[in-house]
Amino acid sequence: MRTVEQTTQEVLDLAATHFHVAADSLNADDDFFRKLGINSLQALELLSRLENHFGIELPDYEVQGVSDFRTLASRIQSRL
Amino acid sequence: MLDLSTYQSIGAALKDAVEVFAGEVCLIEADRERENHRLTYREFRDRAMPIAKTLQDAGFSEGDRAAIIMTNQSKWLIAAYAIFYSGGVLVPLDFKLTADEQWQLLQHSKARVLITEYPIWRQLSAAAGPAGVTRLRTVFVTEAPADADLAGGQRWETTATGGAGQPDFRPRTRTDVATIVYSSGTGGRPKGCMMTHDNYLEQCIALTSLYPFATGMRYLSILPTNHAIDFMVGFFGPFICGAAVVHLRTLRPEYVHEAFVKYKITYVSLVPLVLKNLQKGLQARFDELPRRKRKVFDALVAVNKALTKRRPRLWLSRRLLKEVHAAFGGELAAIIVGGAFSEPETLQFFYDLGIPVANGYGLTEAGTAITVNDLKPFRADTVGKPLPGMEVRIVNADAQGIGEVTVRSKTVMSGYLNEPELTAETIVGGWLLTGDLGRFDGAGHLQLLGRKKNMIVTEEGKNIYPEDVESIFESLPVKEFGVFAANYVWPQRSMVGEQLILVIRLESGQSFTPGLRQEITVRNNRLLNYKRVRGIVLADEDFPRTASMKIKRNVLAEKLAKLDRTHAVMEL
């Protein structure tokens, strides 16, 4: 079982790969909309990528209002 | 279709619709590849009645207000039906707002009942600051896990199956308020539009005269149902015609694409951002075609364009461009686009493929839509002609015929809740002043060419008023500040790519330091992403103010307009 820290790091790494930015430029408390310059549709793409990676289903309504990596990771953690 | 001219209220029309179309499918709810359920009108009514009974048993009566904060799903419509059946006033709130903003509107609307989903209720309960001052007495929570703490809420699923006896149908009249829809004002001054039953009945008659629903048709509900468009074309419109509404619990593009094919969708409403994204995806696929195939495809598009110049010919387009139409399920009659301004080239792209786009213009205060493209012929460069029953006039027009768009019709709201002065400023002599600038062309089509009002609309269809985001910058260590729509200061004949700017006046001797920029960035990031300011402007003199110390926004904007926008705005 991953720790929440590990999950958070994996979320950051995946986001960096998916949106082609340097992994060390992202922090857990960053707002991903702002930091990655993405819109709501691109955020949905990231969710699909994360679901595949973690092998879980993350309903859209479960992440409604979430905009930072740390909270996103905690929602993923609760479904692992 | 029911004859709406004979009805007094939304509730009465819906009550008849579920009887007339009892055996037809009315709702399909899917989650990814799974279908959660498929309800007939009869089954829909059977699910709504226990909710209505529980509401009435709890003392909910005519004129009482009930809020819904839910994502698009079947329970949204079931809850709304129960509220209207009980004679209540529906307050549809945006599920994308923050918990604090939702509490603020619950308080402002004086809602007695709230119907919401567990993840939303969890956030609301955690931010329960203003909870004590609302009039909430009953909270229904849907989809809560078995061991969840409902913080005083009732489990929807228990209510939906229990309850003895039948609820009473509580009639309303056309002039009664049916809904309170917030068009803005989560920051300072909530603007709750009081929409009457007459507003909805008349709007529905006008819209369905151009874009009719019928039994067997299916509408894919993607725009939030709290939004005026989805409420009308994703609930009331299809229901009074016996059509079906399809809800998806997951809006990932891959599942949305699948739904078109799986459910043979007839209509869908999209915001410009999603439409543009769809265009990008299709264009990429066309670009990947081998050269010879691409040539044939382009030739077919050219033939389709020539044959649909005067009007759409769906059956012909579906044959000519079979694969494109098959990807949309083969039954798509039109894409309804709204919520924000759409770029003409995107609209034309779809029309050239034989997919009509019902482009229109409206605002919450005027019902759902004021103008819609009637497709006779299709025009991508305008927002169409006024709907039947709408009087639209351009006032204070300049030499080019551009002036403020004003509207008079039975669909215009009765006023803003608790705001008689604001109502009097907005509806003058029966005419609604929209604050949008436009002109009519020779064919009677309306063209929109900017705004008179200090606000922006994002591509995702969000209306943002600068005053609503100012509170986040309160006590910023500067002499004074204000938020403006960049286009309000530097008017452009366009409604695309609108941005907010923060105007600050530094103290004497103060300089704009990296620390101050950081402070602004941190505060800005606390706003939802679409509400953020995108630039900073340093004012070189004190803000002009009224006797009561309010900023004279129009005067300040005129002064700022003298600055060169490119140099004056520092990107944030």
pLDDT, tens digit, 9 for 90 and up, residues A18-58: 999 998 889 999 888 878 888 777 888 899 999 999 999 88
AA letter at B545: R
State in words which class domain B456-571 has.
alpha beta
Rounded to the nearest 10 degrees, the angle between the axes of helix B272-287 and helix B291-307 is 130
Distances (CA, A) of B333 to B264, B355, B503, B535: 10, 7, 46, 42
Per-residue pLDDT at B131: 55
Report yes or no: B383 and B373 within 8 Å, Cβ to Cβ.
Answer: yes
* Domain B382-453 coded CATH 2.30.38.10: yes
Domains of chain A: 4-77 (1.10.1200.10)
Q: Does B532 touch chain A (CB under 8 A)?
A: yes
Per-residue pLDDT at B162: 56
- What DSSP designation does B116 have? E
Confidence of residue A63 (pLDDT cuts 50, 70, 90): confident
> In 3D, which of B189, B191, B168, B193 has the Cα closest to residue B180?
B193
| Closest chain A residue by Cα to residue B534 | A34
Give the gap in angstroms from C-alpha A26 to the nearest C-alpha of chain B. Answer: 15
Write down the pTM of the prediction: 0.86
Structural tokens at position A50: 């994360």
Domain boundaries, chain B: 4-260, 382-453, 456-571
When the candidates are 3.40.50.920, 3.40.50.300, 3.40.50.980, 3.40.1390.30, the CATH number that belongs to B4-260 is 3.40.50.980
What lies within 8 Å, CB to CB, of B302 at 6+ separation is none
Picking from A30, A32, A39 by the largest number of B CB atoms within 10 A of its own CB, the best residue to mutate is A39
Judge whether residue A80 has pLDDT over 90: no
Tokens 């009659």 -> residue? B333
Per-residue pLDDT at B187: 54
Q: Does B274 contact A65 at a Cβ distance shorter than 8 Å? A: no
Strand duo B334-337 + B267-270: pairing: parallel
What lies within 8 Å, CB to CB, of B392 at 6+ separation is B370, B371, B386, B405, B406, B407, B440, B446
Give the gap in angstroms from C-alpha B521 to the nearest C-alpha of chain A. Answer: 10
pLDDT by position in tens, chain B (length 572)? 999 999 999 999 999 999 999 999 999 999 988 999 999 999 999 999 999 999 999 999 999 999 999 999 999 999 999 999 999 999 999 998 888 889 989 999 999 999 999 989 988 988 875 556 678 889 999 999 888 889 889 999 887 665 568 999 999 999 999 999 998 655 557 899 999 999 999 999 999 999 999 999 999 999 899 989 999 999 999 999 999 999 998 888 888 889 999 999 999 998 888 888 889 889 999 999 999 999 999 999 999 999 999 999 999 999 999 999 999 999 999 999 987 888 899 999 999 999 999 999 998 999 989 999 989 899 999 999 999 999 999 999 988 898 999 999 999 999 999 999 999 999 999 999 998 889 999 999 999 888 887 888 877 777 788 877 887 898 899 999 999 989 888 887 777 778 899 999 999 899 999 999 999 998 888 787 778 899 999 999 999 887 767 788 888 998 999 998 888 888 88
